[in-house]
Amino acid sequence: MRDFAARVLLRLLGALPLLLGVSLVSFVLMALAPDKSYELAGRAAGTEEIAAMQRALGYDAPLWRRYLQFLGEIARLDFGHALSSGERVTTLLARTAPVSLAATLPGFVLGHALALAAALLAARWAHTLLDRLLTAAASLGMSLSLVVVVIACQAVFSASDGLDWFPVRGWDASSIGGYLRHVAVPTTALALGGAAYNLRFYRSLMLTELEAPYVRLARAYGEAPGSVLLRQVLPNLWPAIATRLLYSIPLLIVSGSLLIESYFGIPGLGRLTYEAATGGDQPVLKAVVTLSALLFALTLSLADAFSRAADPRLELR
Amino acid sequence: MRTRSARTGILLLGLLAGCGGDAPPAAPPLKVYRHSEDGAPASLDPAQASTVHAVLIARSLYDTLYAYRYLARPYVLKPNLAEAMPEVSADGRVYRIRLKAGVRFVDDAVFAGGRGRSVTAQDAVYSILRHFHPDSRGQGAWAWRGRILGLDDWQRAGADFDRPPEGLRALDARTLEIRLLQPYPRLVHTLALALAAVVPREAVERYGREFGVHPVGSGPFRLLSFDSARAVLARNEQFRREPLDLAAEGFDPVRHAGLGLEALDGRVSPFVDRVLIDWVPEPAARWTSFNKAAEIQYTVLPPSQYDAVLAAREPLALRPEYAQRFVAHAALENSLVYTSFNLEDAAIGISGDPERDARRRALRCAIVKAFDWPARNARFYGGLGRVFSGALTPSLAEFDPALPAPARDVKGARALLARHGWTAQSLPALEHAIPGGPLYRDMHEQLAGFLIDIGWPAGKIRARSYPSFGDFDRATRQKRAQLFTRASHLDVPDAAAAMQLFYGPYAAPGPNTSNYRNAEFDRLYERAAMLPPGAERTALYRRMNTLLIDDCVGVLALARTHLHLWHRGVRMLPDRDSANGFWLRYVAVD
């Protein structure tokens, strides 16, 4: 366990140059983002008001100084206040990130579980009618935009002329019942939307693994195909599956699912990020970029340490 | 064991108490109105209330000295936090305003004992002054800059709130005096702006930048929660008890028939306990939610849905399946949509050289003649927009109904170009600045089609797309756009608000993004700005309107119509103009 923690820590330290690079690239991109001074100064503002707003926002400072200030904010993890609402950025993130996670995690888990189960079936009966049906369903799912899936789910489960089981939109996490009512349709949409991509990925992973010599050996010893898949192949695929899952988590927290949050009226981080990007709210953007870079660095480190723990051969390479 | 016995005893006692004697009466269910908006305000600070969404909520949480009558159109001012209309000196330069007694801010930790204190004239002074303080990021300085005695000097001297300028003072706790540099009849309109809402200084100072999410007002509602998806407002129990006087608010039994407002006459507003405002930019989600009985009760319908919902446009009628459940109301917006020329542009602008300017004017006028407003209206505004000539929109009292709406004249445009020697080879390249998105791209394609019809080579008309509306707005305000279409909401329902869009000293980055400069127009504008509403002022504005039309400063214009839909059982007349937003206090739910 101590080795595992040390490995994660080392990887995290190694990620520092990456974080610095991400901060520089994102800062340059943010410098090209919409100039908020015109909007904040108001529609009828003249030259004086706009110039005053630019000074207040620090746009008149040279870029290098603004970048150093950004690095200072990262070091302190204090990004000040959102330009739009005036709310503290850390408060905003603390309020919205858990909402995004609570709204998207069930759909994420369900989508992967469904995809894994379907991929097992497709791999077990590869190149049969069942496999073709599942592959066709996955292709159809991948061709459909998530917007269509969301609107269809709302029409089926929530609309007054549909099943009318759940609210069309809104968010209530104050009780288990409220949460389940509000998360049910977003979960369904996310699971359906995500399962198609994951099914293709897992199926191809399994089919490749089924070609491995140890599988042929197990089959030669008379082990049933289903048993080989579950007892031999699946454990060997865990590092790849875990890596895919871990890599998805930062996106889940940081960007949530913008479409899901917008269409279902969920006050999460995805929507906040989108509005900050289109509106040029740099303090929020800086915080989100930093948070996502940190989460990715942590995820990379965890995935690496996990893979090495699961497969000792990696240490020898 | 002892604890469990004690709990059982308490439970039994509770049950006995519940069985015997009189049970306390159940609280009546809360009356809740569920509203929706197609965009969200970024901040709840009234100093930043510049969008219709921000105005709506600011006017519900805060008080302004003046307001507009609920139902009267064109808009008519009325006292709100002020006791009466202002006393104005004979020379029109001194305004004295008395505040109503006993008005209190909502309870908040910022006040002694947590109990809201009285609203004073000092608060009204502070609320205007903060627009001139660099820390407050107020967006309303344009309304008072250069108008109030000593205000600009006060700002230059460091903006010390403890030493207000000579022209803006509280004479006592309830009397405000404003001294002007010159007559400014529009002042009362500016005091009805959401930007001028009265805030307590200690709350602004205590919450700092977070005042934008921590409102402390004296309006009809107080805030319970606010995020990117929803705002929840609760009735302000301390709000002054003023019965609704329908006749005084401009009620017309014919125009307002079927809204059920008569039942509210004489009752004290607000009429609901809670207002839930959902911010729903996606029309599909809004429509599905609106169609359910238990979700949002109001929506503004996008033009793309008119055909599916309306049985007729004139007179407005819903399809039978919707008419049973919903009420519809079409309201003309206090705004103008127009395609503007940058008159500083080297190809189509005004240079000062008479011969060159005559040829360029011919170019602009040919574009105006080529423009097919009915087609634009049908394609993008559901056929409900109102096309008119000039900039005096139909919602203004100065609107001239005798002025014919612009009509397409392809032959006339071709002849005009030929008369001034323009050929396909010599016509300049046009760059149409548009915000990103398919809607604006479609608008551009339609405009290009109009111009091709008059002989403009297709290769010389191109769109310059900006990634966001903010980028597009910045380009127009930095004079980088040659030709662009925009919709301007009039901040106040006054002809000056429309005409300032073409007033020379307000050239970009100010509101005159056309950069139109005409000495006669500017002189008339300045003269009209000092006149009270009346025949003389109307004549001046109409003359200015004629100048705009003659100079072909832009393809003018269309006023959008908003189609409001709400559930039967909700009694109201909604309005999404920047001039209004006061109506939420009068919403009733059966």
Lowest-confidence segment of B134-148, B223-237, B246-260 by average pLDDT: B134-148
Express each pLDDT in B127-164 by its tens digit. 999 999 878 888 899 899 999 999 999 999 999 999 99
Nearest to A136 by CA among A154, A161, A124, A118: A118
B464 alpha-carbon distance from chain centroid: 28
pLDDT band at B25 (very low <50, low <70, confident <90, very high): low
SS3 (DSSP) at A201: helix
Tell me: pLDDT of B512 over 80: yes
Q: How far is B243 from chain A (nearest CA, A)?
A: 34
* Residue B28 DSSP class: P
Question: CB count, 10 Å around CB of A82?
Answer: 28
Chain A nearest CA to B473, separation (Å): 8
Distance CA A96, CA A173 (A): 12
Contacts of A53 in chain B (CB under 8 A): 137
Q: How far apart are alpha carbons B547 and B528 in whole angstroms?
A: 15
Burial of B15 (0-12, 13-18, 19+ CB in 10 A): exposed
Contacting residues for B259 by C-beta, under 8 A, at least 6 apart: B327, B329, B571, B572, B573
**B209, B228, B282 member nearest A267 (Cβ):** B228
Query: B12 pLDDT exceeds 70?
Result: no
Tokens 């994951």 locate to A198
Which residue do the tokens 């009512």 mark? A181
Structure-token pair, residue B142:
């344009």
Alpha-carbon distance of A114 to A196, in angstroms, equals 9
d(CA A210, CA A131): 15
With both helix axes pointing from N to C terminus, report the angle between A282-310 and A63-76 in degrees, rounded to the nearest 10: 50
Model pLDDT, residue B7: 45
pLDDT at B414 over 70: yes
Helix (H) or strand (E) segment spanning residue B461: strand B461-466
Integer Rg of chain A from CA: 24
Contact B546, B390 (CB under 8 A): yes
B contacts of A164 (beta carbons < 8 Å): 292
Check residue B11 and give its pLDDT.
40
- Higher pLDDT pick, B310 / A290: B310
Query: Do residue A46 and residue B510 have CB atoms under 8 angstroms apart?
Result: yes
- Tokens 């990103």 correspond to B436
In DSSP terms, which residues pair with B470 in a beta bridge? Answer: none
What does the pLDDT average to over B160-169?
Answer: 96
Q: Do B229 and A52 touch (CB under 8 A)?
A: no
3-state helix, strand, coil in chain B (%, to 5): 35, 20, 45
Whether complex ipTM tops 0.95: no
Between the two ends of chain A, the Cα-to-Cα distance in Å is 21
Which of B43, B467, B471 shows the shortest C-beta gap to A84? B43
- Give residue B18's pLDDT: 38
User: Which of A120, A112, A108 has the alpha carbon at shortest distance from A234?
Assistant: A120
Residues in chain B: 590
Of B340, B395, B390, B398, whose CA–CA distance to B550 is shortest?
B390
**Which residues of chain A are within 8 Å of residue B288 when distances are taken between CB atoms?**
154-155, 158-159, 168
Mean pLDDT of B14-28: 52
- Residue A58 contacts B, CB cutoff 8 Å: no
pLDDT at A256: 60
Q: What is the pLDDT of residue A15?
A: 76
* Cβ-contact A33, A285 below 8 angstroms: yes
User: According to the model, what pLDDT value does residue B144 have?
Assistant: 94
Q: Which two tokens stand for residue B102?
A: 């006993």
Residue B402: Cβ within 10 Å count: 6
Q: Does B212 lie at the interface with A, CB-CB under 8 angstroms? A: yes
User: CB distance B141–A49 less than 8 Å?
Assistant: yes
Q: Which pLDDT does position B92 carry in this prediction?
A: 95
Confidence band (pLDDT; 50, 70, 90) for B413?
A: very high
Residues 6+ apart with CB under 8 A from B43: A84, A85, A86, B54, B212, B213
**Does the beta-carbon distance from A263 to B282 stay under 8 Å?**
yes
What pLDDT does residue A316 have?
Answer: 59
Nearest CA in chain A to B472: A34
Contact B230 A56 (CB under 8 A): no
* A38:B137 CB<8 A: no
Q: Which of B185, B81, B167 is nearest to B124 (CA)?
A: B81
Helices in A125-212 by DSSP H: which ranges?
129-143, 146-153, 176-210
Q: Cα separation of B115 and B113, whole Å?
A: 5
Answer positive or negative: Cα dihedral of B100, B102, B105, B110. Answer: positive
Q: Is A13 on the interface with B (CB under 8 A)?
A: no
> Does residue A35 belong to the interface with chain B, where contact is any CB pair within 8 Å?
yes
Chain A nearest C-alpha distance from B132 (Å) = 9
In whole angstroms, give the CA distance from residue A172 to residue A186.
13
Q: Which residue has tokens 């006054």?
A: B494
Question: Which of these, B134, B178, B199, B190, lies nearest to B160 by C-alpha position?
Answer: B134
* B210 in reach of chain A (CB within 8 A): yes
Contact A296, A251 (CB under 8 A): no
CA dist B287 and B239 (Å) reads 34
Alpha-carbon distance A60 to nearest alpha carbon in chain B (angstroms):
15
Rounded CA-CA distance A189/A103 in Å is 11
What is the least distance, in Å, from the CA of B94 to any CA of chain A?
25
Q: How far is A65 from chain B (nearest CA, A)?
A: 21
| pLDDT surpassing 50 at residue B5 | no
> In this structure, are residues B141 and B147 in contact, taking their beta carbons and an 8 Å threshold?
no
Q: Which pLDDT does position B6 carry in this prediction? A: 46
Which pair of tokens denotes residue B183? Answer: 């007559």
CA–CA dist B18, B8 (Å, integer) = 15
Burial B577-590 (b: 16+ CB within 10 A, else e): bbbbbbbbbbbbbe
Mutation test of the interface with chain A: which of B136, B155, B228, choosing the one with the most A Cβ atoms within 10 A? B228
Q: Cα distance from B429 to chain A (closest Cα, Å)?
A: 27
**Measured between CB atoms, does B295 come within 8 Å of chain A?**
yes
pLDDT of B201 > 70? The answer is yes
Q: Tell me, what DSSP letter sits at residue B79? A: E
Of A160, A169, A267, the CB nearest to B280: A169
Q: Does residue B19 have a pLDDT over 50? A: no
Residue B520: what pLDDT? Answer: 97
Cβ contact B140–A42 (<8 Å): yes
CA-nearest of A279, A82, A260 to A171 is A260
For residue B478, give the 3-state DSSP assignment: coil
Report the distance separating Cα B318 and Cα B167, nearest Å.
Answer: 53
**Residue B580, pLDDT above cutoff 80:** no
H, E, C per residue of A233-297: HHHHHHHHHHHHHHHHHHHHHHCCCHHHHHHHCCCCHHHHHHHHHHHCCHHHHHHHHHHHHHHHH
> B17: pLDDT confidence band, cut at 50, 70 and 90?
very low
- State the DSSP string of B358-401: HHHHHHHHHHHHH--HHHHHHHHSTT-SEE-SSS--TTSTT--T
Q: At B326, is the secondary structure helix, strand, or coil?
A: strand
What is the model's pLDDT at position B21? 44
Q: How would you list the strands of the sheet with B221-226, edge to edge?
A: B32-37, B274-279, B230-235, B221-226
pLDDT in tens for each of the 317 residues of chain A?
677 777 777 777 777 888 888 888 888 877 776 677 887 777 677 777 788 888 878 888 888 888 888 888 888 888 899 988 899 999 999 999 999 999 999 999 999 999 999 999 999 999 999 999 999 999 888 888 888 999 999 999 999 888 999 999 889 888 999 999 999 999 999 999 888 888 999 999 999 998 899 998 998 999 998 898 888 888 888 888 888 888 887 777 776 678 889 889 899 998 888 888 877 888 898 898 888 888 888 887 887 777 777 777 666 55
Q: CA nearest B276: which of A295, A220, A171?
A: A171
CA distance B527 to B534: 13
Residue B20 confidence (pLDDT): 40
Question: What is the Cα Rg of chain B in Å?
Answer: 27
Give the one of B210, B288, B474 whose C-beta lies nearest to A86's C-beta: B210
Separation CA B127–CA B129 (nearest Å): 6
> How would you class B515 by CB atoms within 10 Å of its CB: exposed for 0-12, middle for 13-18, buried for 19 or more?
buried
Mean local confidence (pLDDT), B514-535: 95
Tokens of B345: 């542009």
A280 contacts B470? CB cut-off 8 A: yes
Chain mean pLDDT for chain B: 92
Contact B407, B360 (CB under 8 A): no
Nearest to B497 by CA among B186, B193, B184, B49: B186
Question: Picking from A4-13, B35-44, B365-374, B399-408, which range would have the lowest pLDDT averaged per residue?
Answer: A4-13
Q: List residues bridging with A106 in a β-sheet.
A: none
Residue A62 corresponds to which tokens in the numbers above? 């040279």
